[in-house]
A and B are shown apart, each in its own frame.
Chain A
């Protein structure tokens, strides 16, 4: 069978771009990665243009990411605000495609680092104060809220469970 050619093939470069992220998303992959280190490369070539760039290399086997001003600022933020790229190591980040990124006035889209660092797992459930429990109970009795939703949100005591079932 003849191998088909994906249109994105010609858009790809040596560095991580929108086309790569679109592919990850299509494959159902997570966009959470860990920056192993950031190197300031003088006279590097990016998209055919020679210049000085901050380039992030990942622990995962993916292409490096050229850090523009916005993304550099976000990584700095995750590294106790250190402006030194040598301090930008082992940084967990989540990428996304910002469709509004402009280049020379045109909207082209771009790879962005989320401003919030990815966390592990869901927030643990807690108990509910007696005052809020009474408010919830009233809503359940009025039919505007359900016991299932309350249980999903909070850890209920046996006494509270009994009151719901009254």
Chain B
């Protein structure tokens, strides 16, 4: 685990500030790192499945198309994963001076309709660190999270009763995208590096505990 590269999408899990003085990682961070170590030693993968994630994957192209329609752009889905000595990641859109991360909302009810709501959603989910990771990897001065509201595919509505929450294409496109931006911050990137180093130290300690149990 000495050279483990943390995924940008998981960065928020290790970036928290511990409550106790003298500690470098939060309990959330430690739980996450233990999980990574166990996956490696016992050779298994954890697959998270949910209707929200499935919609995000299935509708990614629709969301990018909506973004392009609203902002008069011609962006395409990026498929290049980048690495540095600390982290790895694959952003959704690699634009000339920024990276864009597309978040497809599950329904009208969960869609942040204004910037303030998007900020709250980003804070709650810890997406800022994901974008900071991407800016570092792709060497971009800006980044953006765009929440997009597109129709939910029928196969995901099997157990839903209220379809009106999911049929959205009669709403003006510009009302269905809410974005917020971030500027690159080198101090915060240094903090990412520090946390990754601490995470690796903890991973090594945990790994040794497992291997040298008897």
Task: Say yes or no: is A135 at the interface (Cβ < 8 Å to chain B).
Answer: yes
Tell me if B71 is interfacial: C-beta within 8 Å of chain A: yes
For the A-B complex, the count of residue pairs with Cβ-Cβ distances under 8 Å equals: 38
Q: How far is the CA of A144 from the CA of B73 in the complex (A)?
A: 5
Q: Which A residues are CB-close (under 8 A) to B69?
A: 153
Residues of the A chain whose Cβ atoms lie less than 8 Å from the Cβ of B73: 139, 144-145
Q: Does A15 contact B (CB under 8 A)?
A: no
Please determine whether B72 and A116 come into contact, CB atoms closer than 8 angstroms: no
Contact with A along B71-103 (1 / 0, CB 8 A): 111100000000000000000000000000000
A98 interface hit (Cβ, 8 Å) = yes
Could you tell me if A98 and B154 are in contact, using CB atoms closer than 8 angstroms?
yes
Measured CB to CB, the closest approach of chain B to A152, in angstroms, equals 11
A contact residues, range: 20 to 34
A115 B163 Cβ-Cβ under 8 A: yes
A73 at the interface (CB under 8 A from B): yes
| A126: nearest chain-B partner, CB-CB | B172
Q: Judge if B158 is at the interface, Cβ distance under 8 Å.
A: yes
Q: Is the CB of A70 within 8 A of B158?
A: yes
> Do the beta carbons of A136 and B72 come within 8 Å of each other?
yes
Assess whether A100 is in contact with B167, with CB atoms less than 8 Å apart: no
* Chain B residues within 8 Å of A, Cβ to Cβ: 69, 71-74, 151, 154-155, 157-158, 161, 163, 166-167, 170, 174
